[in-house]
Every structure is written in C-alpha cells, then in structure tokens.
Chain A
Amino acid sequence: MTRKLYISVLCFALTTLSLTEITAQEKFFRAIGTPHQPKVEVSWNRYYTYDGVADVLQKIAKAYPNLTRLESIGKSVEGRDMWLLTISDFKTGNPDRKPAMYIDGNIHSNEIQGTEFSLYTAWYLTEMFDELEFIKELLQDKTFYIVPTINPDARDNFMKEPNTPHSPRSGMLVLDNDGDGMAGEDRFDDLNNDNHITFMIRKSASGRYIKDPLDDRRLIEVSPEQKGEYEMLGFEGIDRDGDGRVNEDGIGYYDPNRDWGWKWQPDYVQRGAYKYPFSLPETRAVADFVLKHPNIAGAQSYHNYGGMILRGPGAEEDLGTYNREDIRIYDAIAKKGEELIPGYRYLVVYKDLYSVFGGELDWFYGGRGIYTYTNELMNSYLYFHKNEGRANQEEELKVDQYLTFGDAFVPWKEYNHPQFGTIEVGGFKKNFSRAHPGFLLEQDAHRNMAFTIYHAYHTPKLSVTDVKEKNLGGGLKEITASLYNERLMPTHSSQDLKYKIERPDYVSIDGVNVVAGMVVENEDFNEVTEQVQHPSKISVANIPGMQTVKVRWIVYGNENYTITVDSAKGGVVSWKK
C-alpha cells in the first residue's frame, strides 16, 4: 500500500527501492535462526560505544513503534541517559501489566559484551516478531525490559581510554582509594600510548623470570636454583604522588554490583560497597524502575567471564533466603540453560565463585522475589571446545597464534621509565581474554538470548480454565472458577510469599450479587476458606506454576458476569458469561 503510494509520487524512489529489493533477493539466502532481511542492519562481530548502543536502540525503536518504547530511566554519574527499551506487542494490552523479563548488561564497565547480548536480544525479538509464531505469541504474552548498559560512563572509558582487561570495573566516580585524602591521584599511565594498559618488566640480576626461547611473548619462572633475567613490575604506570606506590589510586574504586539493597554490607565487610544501597545513580535508576514495575517476574544480568549461569545467594550468611521451593524453579530453568549454551555451567555464587554482599541478583530475588540469574559470558570452551579455565595463558597464546594471528598481543618493547629506568612494556590487550573475539560474539549472544527467552517464557501465564455453576435453590447459585498457571513460575516466589513483597492476586466477579466468597482448598472434600470482607474480590496468596487454584462465590440472581484475575506478576485475564 505505502509502497504503491511512493511509486506514484516519486519516480526516483521507485528505481532505488526496487533495485535494493532485487539485489537483496539475489545476493542472500536465508540462514535458519537469524533475521534474514532485518529492517535494522547491525553487525554482531564488534562492540559498540555508548553512542553506538544508543544509535542501535533508536533505530530499533524507530523501525518498530508498535513493539517498542525507548525511555531513559535516569542519568549516570557523568550525565549519560540510561536507555531502556521495552519490547512487547503493544496492541495486545498494556506492556506494564504483562509478565515481564528484565535484562541488563555491563554493570562492570569492563565486562562489555553483556551490552551487545542485550542489544542482540532486542534486535532479534523485534525482527522476528512477524516471522515466527513463537516470538509473536511471546510478545503478545510478555514484556521484555532491556537496559543494554547500566554503566554507560565507564563503558566508554574502558573503550576510549587506556585500560587493562579488568579496569575500570567501577563507574566514573573517583574515590580516595589509599586513604591519603586525595582522590584518583595515581592512575595508570599508558607509557607506549597504545590505549591498552599492559605489563612492565625489567631486566634484573635478581629477576625470577626469563623469556621463553621458543616463544618470547611468554615469561617463564625459573626454578629456585636458577638465575632469572626479568622481574615483573605490574601494570603500566608511574608513581605520580611520591608515596612509593604505583597505580594505587585510579578511577573509582567501588563496585556497582555491591550497591544493592538486600543484606547490604559496608566496605570493610564487602570491598567495593559504596555508601549505602543505591547510593550510585545508575543502580538507583534501575531499582526505581523495578520498584515501579511489579510485573517483572524474571531477570537476567550479563557479566563476564567464565561461562557460568549463576544464582544467589551471594553470601553464605544469606543461605536461608533461598528456599527449596524456589531453588526447584531456579534449577529447572538453569539446567535448560546449560543445554542451550554448551560449556556454561550452572553455579551458586557464594560457594562456586566468591562472596558477594549487596549484589544485584540478590536484591532482585531477596528484595523483590524475582527469579534472577547472572551469566558470566565468554569461556575457554568457545575457543577449542575444551574447558581450560579462566585466563589460561597457554591457551590464550595459542588462540592468538592460530585464530587471531597476533591481534591480541602487544609485543614487548623497550621504554624509558622515570622511576624504573629501562623497562619493557607488552602483553595481552584489554579487549582480549574477557571479551569475545568478534567471530565468537554472535553465536554466544544468540545462545544466551535463547536462555533468557526460555526464562521469560516460563514467567506465569494465567487462564480461567473452567467455570462451574450449581443451583443452591432459593435464587442462590454457587460459582466455582478454576484458574490455571500454565508455566513454571508461580505468581509469587516463595521469597515473595514469606515477606508479602507483592500484593496477593485478586480474583473478582462482576455483574452479580455476591453473598459469600471463598478460596476452595480442596474441592473433593469441600474444604474452603471464606473471605468475609469484600467477597466479590477474593485475595489469592499465590497461583503456583503448573497448578490450578479454585475460587468460589455464592451469588444471588441469574445475571451474566465477568471473572477477572489480576496478578502483579501473572498479568490480567478475564472470563465472561
């Protein structure tokens, strides 16, 4: 329709447009699993700066106005907008009332690819909506809230300024890390001006290392009785403040993933904690959004690295929070994840990784009752289908020799250091090891997205499956409604039930004169719990996954009626007679 209009109006456009169409048809053949002719063209083998991310989001929002809403949920420390893209079929109900999946990435600024994985998810869902029945139904039922980066300032710093693979990790607030009353006075120094902070080594009579004669990239430690040639001097830097230490007070340092409001602990217990929960504008923006969106039932945060699907608790002290009922749900979803993402393992933070107080996933679950995972993206398995562990130098040297052909390593080169004298600078680049090489990015993004789609699919889905009427005589009638939750997750996690985090589900009947209302605990033996106040609107504490809950009213008269189930995390459904 629109096209015809354009043709008649603009001849020039006609030629250009049909030309593109012809070339697209002739040049490409559809690969299964990937949007074939996306409205928004994105390369998934490179990384995007903050501006790049915003650009992709804006293009998606513009291309799919009926599926997306782009908003800023707040400003970062340096004043950047924190973009959130809501994805749902906006024509089938208010997205903020549908069961929702929240996804973010890049809370640690150097852990960049979570952003691309989130973006890929947004792109895939919108581009496939019209192509796949499954995705169409998914977006009719559910909502995705996607914040590709929740640390936008330091993401740009990681990319644009000299850094190691591990820095800044923090956001861009600069704190006094060595307790001398000055903040950030002794940062890294990019001695060789290559935008990477690599290592400094120096020839020394007491050095304990030599360069491997077969591969001079590698330093090897000599045995105790042998004389070495080199000593290690740490990451590139100069002692700028004259306290005899190098690089001891850089950007940050605090850890945005220690700033969340569940069993939060101060810095002396949990290094990296800032002042109090949500004392950083970025985490506060996310928390405020989540508090205003009780429809979020599942959540995912992307970190790197190691190939892990993590759940809480972050600390052993919080073991009691994760109870058996909820772990059953966690296990069911994450074990599917292990299948979908080969090489990734399902682990528990406090016992398989390290202790974290005040982490994001613990607040989402402990504080909001939302089933939440953190995926540690990128792992050794992706290189040669072997699990060689994190930061395996041998493997990384091999990768750079045979797969990336020297792109990942800065060869050792002499440099004159004002304090150390003649040194050599070199080593792996900041965008290697933790970050995927380009050729591995898209596949891992797709697999991780598939895991979050499985997670989102299993947020509650409610329906009124059966309504039975029984005549009680004297104009009275008994109406019994069965409500079914056809997915894994309950409308209230058991953490939610324990603290009454979210309101109960309301099941109401309209159009009839209600005499009494009750929850049917056991229909066979007529065990019921009456609700004396407001019997037309029955409060149901929970509708468990794959289970039915029954509600009964005694009503007077014979009018037609509507039954509505209104659940914060299960959505709103109606049944009409």
Chain B
Amino acid sequence: MTKYLLFFLAIVPFSQVVSSQNNYPTLTEITQRLQKLNNHKVATLNSITKTDGGQDIWVLKIGTGDLDNKPAIAVVGGAEGFHLVSVELALQFAEELVNNYPEKLEHTTFYVFPNMSPDAYLQYHSNIKYERRGNVAKIDHDRDGTVSEDPYEDLNKDGFITQIRVESPMGYYKIHPNDTRVLVKADRTKGEAGNYLVFTEGIDNDKDKKFNEDLEEGIAFNKNFTYKFPVFEPLAGDYPVSQKENRALIDYLFEQWNIFAFVTFSPANNLSEPLKFNESGAKKRVISSMLKKDVATNKMISELYNKTVSQKAFQQDNQGTDGDFFQWAYFHFGRYSFSTPGWWVPEVKLKENDDDKTETKKPSSKEKPIVTKESNFMAWADQQNLKDIFVPWTPVSHPDFPNQKVEVGGIKPFALHNPPYNLVDSLALQHTTFILKLAAMQPKLEFHHVKVEKLSGGLSRITADLYNNSPLPTHSELGEKSRWLQKIRIDITKDKKEVIAGNTINLIDKLDAFETKTLSWIVKGSGNVEIKAGAAHAGFAVFNVKL
C-alpha cells in the first residue's frame, strides 16, 4: 500500500506533463484524471461495469452530507464514441466543480458519467482512425448470416478512414462550385448530372455493391435505448438495452432517486432550441412529443443556455435520434433532459469579393451559394488556419473499379464533431457555468406560515404552507405519470392515535413552479412534533413545533 502511494507520488511530474496536453486524452489518461478527483473527499469514483472490450464505465458521484436526499444532476459524456469533446466537457465539469465550486454541493448532488462509449472512443487513438459508434460486440449489421464481412479499408495507408470518389458518368456527386476539395450532391431537380460516385473508404469485400455495410464494430450506446428503439438497424441490435454499458447505466440510475435533470453531451441539441411541441404526439398513448409544460421548461432552460454559452446555433438540426440516451432520460425516465454537442462548426459568412480560394467562376448574385456542413467546415478551417484536417484527393487503384479513376481523400475523421483541443477549456468553463446555473434552479421545498392553534381539550391544529421556491416544477409533466419518481411525502412524527384529523403520511403528486399547498392536522397531546416534506429529487423541508 505504502509502496503504491510512493510510486504514485513519483509519477506526479509526468502527469503534470499529461495535463498540459494538446490532444484529447487516452482512456488511461481519463482514468488517471478521475482517480485524481477520487482523492477529494466530495467525490467517489466507481466502475459500474466493464464493457466487453474490458473498459470501465466510470461514475463519479460528487456531493456532501446526505447526498442521496439532495436533488441531483447527472452529466453524461461519450454517448457517441467519436464525440471526443463530450468526454472532455464532462470530465472538466467534474474537475471545475470539485476544485472550484465545492459550495454548490451544499444543495445539489452531481453524477458524472464521463464516457459511455469507451470501446468506440479507443478508435481515435488507434492506428486506423475512424468515427466509431459501436462497442466490441460481434454484430451482423446487415443481417446476412456473416459477421462484419465488409469493414473499412485504409486504402492509402494514411491511418485515416476518409472517403473514396470514383469518376463516373453515373455519379450523383459533383465538385462544390466554391471549393474544389468538397463534393456536393448534384441537383437532379435542376437537371444536373453528377460525375462522382462517393463511398466511405474501403472495398466491397462481399461483392454486394454496398461499401462497408457490415463494420467491425458492435452496438452503439446511443442507439440501444427503449425510446423509439430502431430494432434490427445496424448498430442498434435485436432488442433495446442489450449491452452491458446501457444496462449498467440504467440499473444504476434506477437506484438514484434524487436525479431531477440530465445534461448529456451528445450530437442532439435541445439547448440551443427547445424541442417542439406536437399536440397529437403528446396526446397519443405512446407519447412522441415532449408534453406542453415540459416544453415551456425546456424553453426556459434553453434561454439560460443561450445566455451562458457564447456560440450561436448553426446547423443544429439534430433534436434526438431513435434509441438515443437523452430522449430516454425524458420519455422513459421522466426527468428533465437536456443535450448539447457542446461545440459545433460555427457559421462562416462567405465574403463574395475577396476570396481567392474559391473558384474563378463566381456564382451569379441571384444564386445562393451552396453551404453544406463540409463546405462550411472547410471555410472555417481556412479562417482558423487549421492544419491536418483534410486529406487531399489522391488516386489509388481499386479492385472494384479496375479501369476508373478512384481517389481517396476528404475531411479527416473526428474533425467535424470535435474542436481543436485548445478550444476545449473555454467551452468547458461556459458549460460548467450553465450546469451550475441549472442546479441553482432546482426544485426547492420550503415551509411558510407555520401556525399552531390550541383547541380545547388538549387538541392543537397545525397548519403550514408547503412552497416550491423554484421556477422548475418538482416533477416534469411526464414524470408525474412515472412510477420512477417519488411523490412528495409529508410525515408527521406523531403516533397515529394522536392524529385526530389528517394522516401520519400524506402524499402529494407534485408542486408546480412556485406553487403552494396548505397542509393541516389536528393532533392530541403535547411535546415536540416534526413535520418533514419532500422527495429525494425535490429535496426536503422540515419544521418543528412545540405543542
């Protein structure tokens, strides 16, 4: 034990080097940072399972005192394995919280799950880098009876899986008019013929005319939950919550009754803009729209987000995908659930006159320039003078197209979804501020107007107003229906026989934002009486009276 500690101290200088790194951390580095946090009194690190790839799924529970009975926020990173920044944001939130804001733990407990897709995350630090979603499970994604028979191939041996383009009159892509590096779909409605076929980098191993349709990866964490589970789709599997990661997380969450909200760093975004309300979807038995009151809450939190986080929304059109985690947390777990990618490629306003990088033929002023995710990214990368984000199109010989011109190239994997590492610190600070502001809004039960009236014959009437001093209802509208949120329970410490009017236990379904409920009892006898009201996710209020 002592030996181990000494060794640990000895390697500190090295970990200093690690912390001033300029790249997204390895799984080992993540674990080291978590273990460092675990040394703080307020944080407890646990592995809730090991993936089939042998990686730990960590949860850091951060809080003080009676931490299971304080409202809690769960912060989740790594919902997608290729979304490196999400892991770093969750991790830095925990570091900021523990190191700089311990006073926040007086009222709120936090759960941080920094990386839910470690098997897939590993691909970033592997010899062949590609944007991976699936864990290591062996899955027959195209369901043809053969497992993973058509994965990617690194044709140009550069260590990156990018794209191939094949010159062909049957192509449905053309060169972007403003940027020769980028391909766009030919607009067939305008009679445009394309001249490139485009595929992900690889060979059609099983000669079924589909490229890389049966990848060497397993199930995606963010496609394996019960809400709108995309059964039998690639990366989703045969039934929901089939993977250890998913199961361990849910099993753990079902035991934590105090979570009132989730902040997930994932490609979905309901923070730049709230989810839309759809009346018919909300009225269905199988609900497919966020409920009305919850949309209003989402809108309020979204405004808070936009005030706190400086980046302006751009191309944020993903508000949830089938089987994902963030929708599960709301639709099937009844909690307030928020998701943001944390970072996205900012909009680049094209200056039409002095851009010498664009093609000589300028689009006529009437035509809108074509802006795709890729063209906007390249423009931004140029502005930022980013290196190492693009593989120039280079010819290769390809067995599936023996007599055609085939080139490998395109934007490098990870670049579209993850900012250069040096931008992460400021993003993390802003998102930490946001999460702490959200925590400050948590449901807050208080007693007011406590009154004891003496009645004749040794009876007393106790009255009090129970007040939710928060802009958030104690239960989401959907959560009111769920058995997995506790009701607000009011206990009076009196023997049942001495409570003449009223019960010793009362249950209230919920309190809305700033709502008051008046409670009263008639009791017999004298002495101290304690009255306590609350639920783990809404916190507790207590008062004592002497009869």
**Chain A partners chain B:** yes
Query: Is B254 engaged at the interface, CB distance under 8 Å to the other chain?
Result: yes
Query: Is A532 engaged at the interface, CB distance under 8 Å to the other chain?
Result: yes
A317 & B505 in contact (Cβ 8 Å cutoff):
no
Scoring B residues 248 to 283 as 1 if CB is less than 8 Å from chain A, else 0, what string do you get? 001100100100000000000000000000000000
Q: How far is the CA of A500 from the CA of B214 in the complex (A)?
A: 14
B482 & A268 in contact (Cβ 8 Å cutoff):
yes
State how many angstroms separate the Cβ of B326 from the closest Cβ of chain A: 16
A180 & B489 in contact (Cβ 8 Å cutoff):
yes
State how many angstroms separate the Cβ of A323 from the closest Cβ of chain B: 16
Query: Is B486 engaged at the interface, CB distance under 8 Å to the other chain?
Result: yes
A267 & B285 in contact (Cβ 8 Å cutoff):
no
Partner pick for A269 among B250, B285, B484, B535, CB 8 A cutoff: B285
Pick the most buried of B226, B334, B483, B484: most chain A CB atoms within 10 A of its CB.
B483
Partner pick for A241 among B232, B287, B485, B505, CB 8 A cutoff: B505
Q: Which residues of B205-256 have CB atoms within 8 Å of chain A's CB atoms?
A: 206-208, 226, 229, 231-232, 238-242, 247, 250-251, 254
B505 & A275 in contact (Cβ 8 Å cutoff):
no
Query: Is B428 engaged at the interface, CB distance under 8 Å to the other chain?
Result: no
B486 & A268 in contact (Cβ 8 Å cutoff):
no
Q: Closest chain A residue to B257 by CB distance?
A: A181
Residues of A within 8 A of B506 (CB): 243
B231 & A499 in contact (Cβ 8 Å cutoff):
yes
Query: Is A62 engaged at the interface, CB distance under 8 Å to the other chain?
Result: no
State how many angstroms separate the Cβ of A508 from the closest Cβ of chain B: 13
Contact A504/B145 with A261-B240, A266-B332 known, Cβ cut-off 8 Å: yes
Query: Is B463 engaged at the interface, CB distance under 8 Å to the other chain?
Result: no
Query: Is A412 engaged at the interface, CB distance under 8 Å to the other chain?
Result: no
Q: How far is the CA of A503 from the CA of B144 in the complex (A)?
A: 6
Partner pick for A264 among B226, B496, B503, CB 8 A cutoff: B226
Contact A532/B207 with A181-B535, A367-B238, A503-B144 known, Cβ cut-off 8 Å: yes
Query: Is B507 engaged at the interface, CB distance under 8 Å to the other chain?
Result: yes
Query: Is A320 engaged at the interface, CB distance under 8 Å to the other chain?
Result: no
Q: Closest chain A residue to B253 by CB distance?
A: A275
Q: Closest chain B residue to A179 by CB distance?
A: B487
Q: How far is the CA of A243 from the CA of B505 in the complex (A)?
A: 5
Query: Is A176 engaged at the interface, CB distance under 8 Å to the other chain?
Result: yes
Q: Closest chain B residue to A268 by CB distance?
A: B481
Residues of A within 8 A of B286 (CB): 265, 269, 317, 357
Q: How far is the CA of A244 from the CA of B506 in the complex (A)?
A: 9
Q: Closest chain B residue to A260 by CB distance?
A: B239
Partner pick for A275 among B206, B229, B250, B481, CB 8 A cutoff: B250
Query: Is B478 engaged at the interface, CB distance under 8 Å to the other chain?
Result: yes
Query: Is B504 engaged at the interface, CB distance under 8 Å to the other chain?
Result: yes
Q: How far is the CA of A355 from the CA of B206 in the complex (A)?
A: 44
Residues of A within 8 A of B285 (CB): 269, 317, 355
Q: How far is the CA of A242 from the CA of B493 in the complex (A)?
A: 12
Partner pick for B503 among A177, A244, A355, A539, CB 8 A cutoff: A244
A179 & B207 in contact (Cβ 8 Å cutoff):
no
Q: Closest chain A residue to B509 by CB distance?
A: A179
Q: Which residues of A527-577 have CB atoms within 8 Å of chain B's CB atoms?
A: 532-533, 539
Residues of B within 8 A of A268 (CB): 334, 478, 481-483
What is the size, in residues, of chain A's interface with B at 8 Å between Cβ atoms?
40
Query: Is A124 engaged at the interface, CB distance under 8 Å to the other chain?
Result: no
Partner pick for B241 among A176, A277, A504, CB 8 A cutoff: A277
Contact A242/B238 with A499-B143, A532-B207 known, Cβ cut-off 8 Å: no
Q: How far is the CA of A187 from the CA of B38 in the complex (A)?
A: 42
A367 & B231 in contact (Cβ 8 Å cutoff):
yes
Pick the most buried of B144, B482, B484, B535: most chain A CB atoms within 10 A of its CB.
B484
Residues of A within 8 A of B229 (CB): 264
Q: Which residues of B110-128 have CB atoms within 8 Å of chain A's CB atoms?
A: none
A291 & B481 in contact (Cβ 8 Å cutoff):
no
Q: Closest chain B residue to A368 by CB distance?
A: B238
Scoring A residues 289 to 313 as 1 if CB is less than 8 Å from chain B, else 0, what string do you get? 0010000000000000000000000
Q: Contact residue range for chain B?
A: 35 or more
Contact A180/B226 with A242-B503, A261-B240, A500-B232 known, Cβ cut-off 8 Å: no
A180 & B486 in contact (Cβ 8 Å cutoff):
yes
State how many angstroms separate the Cβ of B260 from the closest Cβ of chain A: 15
Query: Is A330 engaged at the interface, CB distance under 8 Å to the other chain?
Result: no
State how many angstroms separate the Cβ of A264 from the closest Cβ of chain B: 6
Q: How far is the CA of A214 from the CA of B332 in the complex (A)?
A: 54
Contact A180/B240 with A264-B226, A267-B484 known, Cβ cut-off 8 Å: no
B226 & A277 in contact (Cβ 8 Å cutoff):
yes
A-B contact count (CB 8 A): 107
Partner pick for A181 among B240, B478, B486, CB 8 A cutoff: B486
B486 & A179 in contact (Cβ 8 Å cutoff):
yes
Scoring A residues 244 to 286 as 1 if CB is less than 8 Å from chain B, else 0, what string do you get? 1000000000000000011011111100000111110000000
Query: Is A53 engaged at the interface, CB distance under 8 Å to the other chain?
Result: no
Partner pick for B239 among A266, A267, A367, CB 8 A cutoff: A367
Q: Which residues of B261-315 have CB atoms within 8 Å of chain A's CB atoms?
A: 285-287
Scoring B residues 524 to 547 as 1 if CB is less than 8 Å from chain A, else 0, what string do you get? 000000000001100000000000
Contact A261/B239 with A268-B334, A269-B286, A532-B207 known, Cβ cut-off 8 Å: yes
Q: Closest chain A residue to B535 by CB distance?
A: A181
Q: Which residues of A491-549 have CB atoms within 8 Å of chain B's CB atoms?
A: 499-501, 503-504, 506, 532-533, 539
Residues of A within 8 A of B239 (CB): 261-262, 277-278, 287, 363, 367
Q: Closest chain B residue to A366 by CB distance?
A: B231
Q: Closest chain A residue to B254 by CB distance?
A: A275
Q: Closest chain B residue to A291 by CB distance?
A: B238
Q: How far is the CA of A528 from the CA of B233 in the complex (A)?
A: 30
Q: How far is the CA of A262 from the CA of B240 in the complex (A)?
A: 9
Partner pick for B206 among A266, A267, A363, A533, CB 8 A cutoff: A533
Residues of B within 8 A of A532 (CB): 207
Q: How far is the CA of A291 from the CA of B485 in the complex (A)?
A: 33
Q: Closest chain A residue to B205 by CB distance?
A: A533
Q: How far is the CA of A506 from the CA of B144 in the complex (A)?
A: 11
State how many angstroms separate the Cβ of A409 from the closest Cβ of chain B: 35
B489 & A503 in contact (Cβ 8 Å cutoff):
no
Q: Closest chain A residue to B232 by CB distance?
A: A499
Contact A176/B482 with A244-B503, A367-B238, A500-B143 known, Cβ cut-off 8 Å: no
Query: Is A178 engaged at the interface, CB distance under 8 Å to the other chain?
Result: yes
Q: How far is the CA of A241 from the CA of B238 in the complex (A)?
A: 43
Scoring A residues 146 to 184 as 1 if CB is less than 8 Å from chain B, else 0, what string do you get? 000000000000000000000000000001111111000
A267 & B505 in contact (Cβ 8 Å cutoff):
no
B251 & A275 in contact (Cβ 8 Å cutoff):
yes
State how many angstroms separate the Cβ of B271 from the closest Cβ of chain A: 24
Q: How far is the CA of A553 from the CA of B13 in the complex (A)?
A: 70
A276 & B240 in contact (Cβ 8 Å cutoff):
yes
Scoring A residues 325 to 366 as 1 if CB is less than 8 Å from chain B, else 0, what string do you get? 000000000000000000000000000000101000001000
Residues of B within 8 A of A317 (CB): 285-286
Residues of A within 8 A of B334 (CB): 268
Residues of A within 8 A of B481 (CB): 268
Residues of A within 8 A of B486 (CB): 176, 179-181
Q: How far is the CA of A269 from the CA of B287 in the complex (A)?
A: 8
State how many angstroms separate the Cβ of B380 from the closest Cβ of chain A: 40
Partner pick for B250 among A267, A276, A363, A499, CB 8 A cutoff: A276
Residues of B within 8 A of A500 (CB): 143-144, 232
Interface residues of A (CB under 8 A from B): 175-181, 241-244, 261-262, 264-269, 275-279, 287, 291, 317, 355, 357, 363, 367, 499-501, 503-504, 506, 532-533, 539
Further pairs besides A275-B250, A499-B231: 12, Cβ < 8 Å: A176-B486, A179-B486, A179-B487, A180-B505, A242-B496, A264-B229, A266-B331, A269-B285, A275-B254, A277-B226, A355-B285, A532-B207
What are 30 A-B residue pairs whose CB atoms fall within 8 Å in the complex?
A176-B483, A176-B486, A179-B485, A179-B487, A180-B487, A180-B507, A181-B257, A181-B535, A181-B536, A242-B504, A243-B506, A262-B231, A262-B239, A264-B226, A266-B226, A266-B332, A267-B483, A268-B483, A269-B286, A269-B287, A275-B250, A279-B251, A291-B238, A357-B286, A363-B239, A367-B239, A503-B144, A504-B144, A539-B144, A539-B145
